[in-house]
Structure 1
Amino acid sequence: MKDVKVEAEIRALRNEIEKHDELYYRQADPEISDREYDQLKHDLEALEAAHPEWVPNDTPTQRVGDDLVEGFESYIHRLPMLSLDNTYSEDEFFAFVERIVKGLEVVSVDFVVEPKIDGVAVSITYENGKLVRAVTRGNGTEGDDITANVLFIEELPRELKGADLPDVIEIRGEIYMRNDEFDRINAERSAAGLEEFKNPRNLAAGTVKMLDRDEVARRKLSIVLYGLGFCQPEIVSSQSEFSQTLTHWGFPVGERIWETRGAEEAWQAIEELDSLRDQLPYPTDGAVVKTNRLDQQDQLGKTSKAPRWAIAFKFAAEQSETVLEGITLQVGRTGVLTPVAELRPTQLAGTTVSRATLHNQEEMQRKDVRIGDSVILEKAGEIIPAVIRVVLEKRPRDSVPFVFPESCPKCGTPTRKLEGEVALRCLNIKCPAQVKGRLQHFASRQCMDIEGLGEAVVEQLVERSLVSNLSDIFRLAYDQIVALEKFAEKSSRNLLEAIEQSKTKKLWRLIHGLGIPQVGATAAKDLAKHFGSVAHLREANVETLVEIDGIGEKTAQGIVAYFDSEVNAAVVDSLFELGVNPTAPEMIERSQAIFEGTSFVITGTLPTMKRDEAKALIESKGGKVAGSVSKKTTYLLTGESAGSKLTKAESLGVKILSEADLIQGIEKGSLV
């Protein structure tokens, strides 16, 4: 008999991880640190190990993060581009070395230690010495083609010089933004009244996926190359030899690379890198340790998501002690009250910190955080600093516990804690703080993507009573905008043009932008595809909604409640009256939907079609295309070098198709 509580915990962890995958890989806007994310995965792995009967084939613990997005053509890596296993512990690092030594049946192993750059993984393909393609990691099997944007990186060679060049080579590396370039861009945005970017990694990730080439050119990206993917013919026998070859070819490589013998020397290199990391020109959050010899790498092999011959050692989060001088309460777009620590300014991770998150009322009470306390701050993964503990021995004698107000600090409405939640909420949807939050969400890059309508501008619009709900954005006039601080004629007309262009953005962006509880980008895309319009979506009931893959009962109830609200319904009506006309997904005629209800996975290189062409063809006939083989897969479409997906499909009894089978089936009107 299943343990319902444990099963629910597993499901909740998977959903939480998938939410953070979406934020990190696709939106470049993470909410938690790498360590917190890794802990979520560790907790899920432990539960799945105890209950293997509940582990699906597509569990997030067994796959590489997926950064594939719309608007880019995708390409299959000739050699899979995996991620790295992480460790934060010295003992775990030495256990990793012990596994290497045992697996190779040797006394000692040579390692290479390199800085782990906090950027965006990329694979650059050269054919006959010429750069032909740059592709993101994607899902490990295929990635997005970002060649046009990568060509703006000045230090990246377009052509390799020298004799004995390989016919084809994939060179792996990291695209990043230098700290000084990040500071320059933020200074310009601040001067223009625009919201500043959070950190260099997020900005680099967002820039490589921009479709505006002029803006990419204005943001100076950098790159470091360090890894060998597919190579024909083979040219080196070790990682260190490959680094030397990269230098000879003119590629930028890591500032420092250590060649070590055995575990102790590798550990000494990690400690030395830790002491030097603040001097590096790019953000680094750890050290990558690789087995040096390539034949030993081949011998050790890989798991479904990471090589067994390498590991990333994550440095401890930087900490600082300071005094908590006050506590303010922020009110978000959903009405949640978040306590924020106002701090005596202190240096942390190379920046001056004066504020830190306290999470929620329950967490504050658990740590017994009080005004006047000396507190320890921690900053990991370039995320907002957090108060991790109180230095109790330094607590003032007259300190008293912080008392949360019974009413919203922004509008005075009584606060409530909803059943099953730990957070206090303001339930007044007209609360100015909530209005600002909803507007910022609606205009954000992951929703309606209205360039120029950032936090600072929204704040002015609300404070001047120019905007009170989402539809008011489309009522703004030139005279109102040009009167705002830091706005001139050109910037005002640019904002009006961006607002006008947003009217015809894709339907899922509008659905996401409405701020319906539990509906993120993925759910919005599923809803857009299923209903085809907001009008059809708002008529749906809970029973209809839960039939859609990925929509649970709680999400369905939130959708119905949203449209049942007279206030929300009026805003949605106004949006359409003001000309918002989103682009709906192409609807398929029933007679053409011959693959409806089927799920395809594509693997290998097809004879005549590119992968995205085959995907579009299948979807045009009503089929779904997934990234990995599972029990739900109906067909595996295979080409040359099919790899492990073919083996897995055969073991599950999935029907195997060739490109010719697919085309013939479409002509016949059936694959049966």
Structure 2
Amino acid sequence: MTTAAQRIAALRAELDQHNHRYYVLDQPSIPDAEYDRLFSALKALEAEHPELITADSPTQRVGGQALAEFGQVRHEVPMLSLGNAFAEDELRDFDRRVREGLGEQLPAGDLFGAGAEVAYVCEPKLDGLAVSLRYEDGVLVRGATRGDGSTGEDITANVRTVRNIPLRLLDSGWPRVLEVRGEVYMSRAGFDALNARALESGGKTFANPRNAAAGSLRQLDPKITASRPLSFCAYGIGQVEGSLPDTQSGILAALKGWGVPISAELQQVQGIEAALAYYRRIGEQRDALPYEIDGVVFKVERLDWQRELGFRAREPRWAIAHKFPAREELTELLDVEFQVGRTGAVTPVARLKPVQVAGVTVSNATLHNMDEVLRLGLMIGDTVIIRRAGDVIPQVVQVVRERRPADARAVHIPEQCPVCGSAVERTQLLKRSKGRAQVSEGAIYRCVGRLRCQAQLKQAIIHFVSRRAMDIDGLGERIVEQLVEAELVQSPADLYTLSFEQVLALEGFAELSSRNLLAAIEASKRPTLARFIYALGIPDVGEETAKRLARALGSLARLDVALPEVLAWLPDIGLEVAHEIHSFFADAHNRTVITQLLARGVLLQEEGELQAEFAACARLAELLARLEIPGVAATGAKRLAAAAGEDLEALIALSQDWLSLKAIKGLTEKAREGLRGFFAVPANTARARAIEAQLRDFGMHWQSERRAVAGLPLAGQTWVLTGTLESMSRDEGKAKLEALGAKVAGSVSAKTHCVVAGPGAGSKLARANELGIAVLDEAGFIARLAELGG
């Protein structure tokens, strides 16, 4: 019979082994929950036998879419998200990028070669809802959610009920306008009490404190919010009119002095290793904290360094969130079902025996594609490890093969679409290189039913009407489903033929709501070209790519006929995406839908000429490079273009003149053979001529008129935007300057023509003053744009 001492020794050995695999080898073999159960068993045994506790026992170690019901608030300074690090090396990479970005501004290291260290402010990353609190003359005047970062929900009445948010700032010295940003959260104790009350009254319980906090703060009745145990913790600022300290910790200390709560765990450290030590300490205290956290946030301490580092697309370069390891659990795979998405992709979804993972009941998890199923070696009936990636998205990460039952079943992709019964086909990947196209099997399977498939039709219309696309207010998923199932809508164009009687007959609609929906559909008929392109749902064309296409080509007519090789001349448009765009507009069904949309009253805005910088932008040598002629690289293409006098027809003739080709200095034998073989194929010659013809039609040909570029008022000038603009975003300011022909740079140099400096401008403004470069404030900038017609 096993004694208590033997059981304790076995548990300690097993826990030590798992500790080594987790912390040293980074190869955990069991989920955290299983480890916790082993640890708890050891702790219980030691509590029964305290005489067996030893110092080396593991138990003794010190271890956005804004809701329509709310008013919308535009954030004067965007509320950006943070980049994430999941491993220590990723955090060290962040520190390296910070130091490289600061360059000469960072003081030199010591005599022994140690590099200079950056000071960081560290604080736990609360798991709640990000909010903005605007104070004017010390009085709280507005509260808003983050929303999509640019626009949030006005929740002023609700934030006033959060007990530790001051309605009036204490003391004095605060700026006239002070926007405080932070997290509204619910403590563990408050969450437990809230759910206990819900159970007693037969109400619905919340899955976790974050959901409880978000749901409480977004109540339409502030009395409900007031009854919930919510708290607030500030972590930074947004718009400010007035002076503040010049460090992150100094600002937070000032907020605390004015009565705004900040984290009790806030700490400033010197260097990345000290930051990592802080992360480990908070991780050890995580379960003992009175609130839920999912990581630690690190921010560069000095504000002038923050300004110098700036931002990338949606996140600051001077801050990062180091997330804790994902929470994991064991459960059983009951079945695999297949869902059909907007593009027809048939995606496997795991149906699981419900299990609690990080405070949430998980019963489904994505499997991404069949390649992932094969990689995992997954079979129905398996015991699997489930992880909520970033504590949010459930995913299957591992199969416990030793627990596989004898009756486990293989997972097979269906031959027919589970929604419409059409054939399911595996995608083909086409890779073009050196004049050849190689076809291979892709990881995605697609239903070929297209818009005949209700699943695809529903998702296509949901995307078409979404806020960033056609922005048809009130046309949510439930209504789209009704329209499709009633066969009132069989393509996005059918939305514009709906009658009052048809809408009124839908479930949940009365006379007023029917008229409101039809009015919203009517109001959507004047989208910008960029919104319309995005709404079409072209594969691999997101919002930014749609904007780029609209700005560059200027019209739907050009995009409609654009050849892939011509599209690839545009910035950030790769050849594969260019082929997707071309294929979309070449499809007969898509062309019919677009024609119907325009015929039914959709009138595109902001159409015009080709963007000035692309006028006469193409060169014959570049065209040769895009034709991917075997053996002809960039240098050879330039030599051939020069020998042909920048004339494609002369080059085609030259390609078959072996003696003339041999006379071209520096042209390799391989290039001569490749060129002659390429243009000996009539289809290749026709393709080259078609591309040249379109370059000429678009005004991009090397012989096209260049006056459009020279005629722009800011052509050839380099401008820099720094600080915060209040009347427009930095992106809007950049777009206006680019439309006038200017190049917008990220740094100031002797070649800079002008600097626009808003509030918060730092080193770039100082550099401009040093170099004697012209500086405009926001009012001057707006006046200058008005003079130029921008």
TM-score range for the pair, normalised by the shorter chain length? 0.5 to 0.7
* Superposed displacement of residue 475, structure 1: 1.9
Offset of 1:320 from its aligned partner?
2.1
**Alignment match, 1:658:** 775
| Structure 1 residue 399 corresponds to structure 2 residue 517 | no
Where does residue 475 of structure 1 map in the other structure? 497
**Residue aligning to 2:379:** 370
Partner SS, residue 589 of structure 2: helix
1:643 corresponds to 2:653: no
Measure the CA separation in 2 of the matches of 1:482 and 1:340.
36
Q: Secondary structure at the match of 2:396?
A: strand
Which of 130-139 and 438-447 deviates more? 130-139
By how many angstroms is 1:387 displaced?
Answer: 1.0
For residues 364-413 of structure 1, the C-alpha deviation after alignment (integer angstroms, 9 at most, x for no partner) is 00101111111111113464311111121211112232121233222333
Distance 1:474 1:215 in 2: 36
Give the match for residue 348 of structure 1: 357
Aligned to 1:31: none
* Distance verdict in 2 for CA 1:596–1:542, change over 3 Å: farther
- 1:43-192 to 2 correspondence within 5 Å? 86-89=84-87, 113-117=123-127, 119-120=129-130, 129=138, 153-154=159-160, 157=166, 159-163=168-172, 165-167=173-175, 172-175=180-183
Report how far residue 452 of structure 1 moved: 2.9
What is the TM-score of this pair, normalised by structure 2? 0.57
Q: 2:550 aligns with which of 528, 541, 547?
A: 528
Runs (5+) with no aligned partner, structure 2 = 1-71, 100-105, 195-207, 430-441, 613-707
Deviation digits for residues 489-522 of structure 1, max 9, x if unmatched? Answer: 4443332222222222333222111111221111
Of residues 445, 451, 465 in structure 2, which corresponds to 1:424? 445
Instruction: Pick from 266, 269, 282 the counterpart of residue 270 of structure 1.
Output: 282
**Structure whose alpha-carbon radius of gyration is higher:** 2
Aligned match of 1:329: 338
- Structure 1's 217 and 492: CA in aligned 2 closer, same or farther, altered over 3 A? farther
SS in 2 for 1:495: helix
Indicate conservation of the 8 Å contact 2:738/2:744, yes or no. no
What is the rounded CA distance, in whole Å, between the counterparts of 1:298 and 1:540 in structure 2?
46
CA distance in structure 2 between the partners assigned to 1:545 and 1:244 by the alignment: 53
Q: Cα distance 1:159–1:505, how it changes in 2: closer, same or farther (>3 A)?
A: farther
The alpha-carbon deviation at position 540 of structure 1 amounts to 2.9
Kept in 1, the 8 Å contact 2:122–2:267? The answer is yes
How big is the shift at 1:445? 2.1
Alignment of 1:187-266 (within 5 A): 224-227=233-236, 239=249, 246-247=255-256, 249-254=258-263, 257=265, 266=278
TM-score (norm 1): 0.65
Does 2:530 align with 1:411? Answer: no
Partner of residue 523 from structure 2, selected from 501, 504, 519: 501
Query: In the comparison of the two structures, how many residue pairs are matched?
Result: 556
Aligned CA distance change for structure 1 residues 288 and 276 (closer, same or farther; 3 Å): farther
What is the root-mean-square deviation in Å for CA atoms of aligned residues? 5.6
The secondary structure found in structure 2 opposite 1:424 is: strand
Give the aligned partner of residue 600 of structure 1.
Answer: 719
2:615 corresponds to: none
Distance 2:420 2:82 in 1: 48
Cα distance, 1:271–1:494 mapped onto 2, change above 3 Å: same
Given the alignment, which residue of 572, 594, 613 partners 1:572? 594
Q: Which residue does the alignment assign to 2:654?
A: none
Instruction: Say if 1:286 and 1:312, in contact at 8 Å, map to a contact too.
Output: yes
Instruction: Indicate the SS of the match to 2:515.
Output: helix
Letter in 1 for 2:762: G
Asked whether the 8 Å contact 1:116–1:312 carries over to 2, the reply is: no
Match of 1:358 among 357, 367, 371: 367
- AA in 1 matched with 2:444: A
Secondary structure at the aligned position of 1:423 is classed as: strand
1:594/1:242 CA distance change after superposition, 3 Å: closer
1:451-490 matched pairs, under 5 angstroms: 451-490=473-512
**Change beyond 3 A, Cα 1:392–1:540:** same
| 1:426-445 superposed matches below 5 A | 426-429=447-450, 430-445=452-467
Contact 2:244 2:251 in 1 (8 A): no
Counterpart among 556, 559, 564 of residue 581 in structure 2: 559
Tell me the secondary structure at the aligned position of residue 417 of structure 1.
strand
Identity of aligned residues (%): 34
The residue number in structure 2 matching 1:14 is none
Q: Which residue of 1 aligns with 2:397?
A: 388
Go from structure 1 to structure 2 and tell me whether the alpha carbon gap of 1:371 and 1:471 turns closer, same or farther (over 3 Å shift): same
Give 1:137 shift.
10
1:615 maps onto 2:733 in alignment: yes
Counterpart CA distance in 1 for 2:256 and 2:492 is 53
Q: 1:171 to 1:488 in 2, by over 3 A?
A: closer
Supply the distance in 1 between the matched residues of 2:221 and 2:87 (Cα, whole angstroms): 41
> What is the one-letter code of the residue matched to 1:161?
L
TM-superposed deviation, 1:259: 6.7
Return the match for 1:446 from 443, 459, 468. 468
Give the Å deviation of 1:474. Answer: 1.7
Q: Secondary structure of the residue that 1:418 maps to in structure 2?
A: strand
3-state SS, counterpart of residue 443 of structure 2:
coil
How many angstroms apart in 1 are the aligned matches of 2:561 and 2:768? 39
